[in-house]
Chains A and B, each alone.
Chain A
């Protein structure tokens, strides 16, 4: 799914909801995943002026979950450790986006090289663990 403008965010969140409903995720876990997705997609729009998100339903060791891959070709993140710290932001925001999103999902992976864009992969399992 391509995200290039702010108006794409709400339909994107609905898609995430659709996927998580399909595997029978509880409301609390759905809300956590969608909120995390919302933070990540906002970052993508703000810092990389958009990108792509891949939505997948995955199974691993008898667990079912939703995997979201956020790919952009923006400026990348110079200091990942710093970017993951609560309250740090290069923009004028609260600095909760990345660390907050990480707390809300089961698995979180961030790969970025300055000048080459950023890829964030998150997985949230059906039962939230």
Chain B
């Protein structure tokens, strides 16, 4: 069976979609990604769709699902490299990809994930300090 490869890069997972997905392949990817997040404890998922020429409502829903599922598993999702024609079409279709972070390219997407990771860590520390203050 065909599969989209998922690469692990430090605390992040990297997926490059090189082909136009049919529905079952997209569902397999969703499933594989969530399992990988759980197995590796990844803190971020980066999905590169620069080679994808069509994102319809189904594919959009899958991207949204991946983002919400990852968030529950404590990982952020960034979708990068969307073609302008795809963005125009998505908005007219009525799909806003709520809850999905986006970035222009892989580099910017990585930066975004890194800032989010640091931000989350600081937040955790602050909460811990608050806790300690209260204990004092």
Interface residues of A (CB under 8 A from B): 6-7, 9-10, 13, 17, 27-28, 30-32, 34-35, 38-39, 42, 86, 93-94, 96-97, 99-101, 103-104
Contact = CB atoms under 8 A, between A and B. Distances in A.
Tell me the interface secondary structure of chain B in the complex: helix
7 contacts: A6-B24, A10-B20, A13-B20, A32-B89, A32-B92, A94-B57, A103-B94
Contact of A28 (B56, B57, B89): B89
B118 interface: no
A86 B94 contact: yes
Given A9-B22, A28-B85, A31-B86, A39 B56 contact: yes
Contact of A103 (B23, B60, B92): B92
B8 interface: no
Interface string B72-88: 00000000000111101
Nearest to B84: A28
B9 interface: no
Interface of B: 20, 22-24, 53-58, 60-61, 83-86, 88-89, 92-95
B85 to A, nearest CB: 4
Given A35-B54, A96-B57, A96-B94, A104 B23 contact: no
B108 to A, nearest CB: 23
Given A35-B93, A94-B57, 11 more contacts: A9-B22, A9-B23, A31-B53, A31-B54, A38-B56, A39-B56, A42-B56, A93-B61, A96-B95, A100-B92, A104-B93
Given A93-B61, A94-B61, A96-B57, A28 B88 contact: yes
A-B CB proximity, top 10 nearest: A31-B85, A100-B93, A38-B56, A96-B57, A28-B85, A35-B89, A31-B89, A27-B85, A96-B94, A35-B56
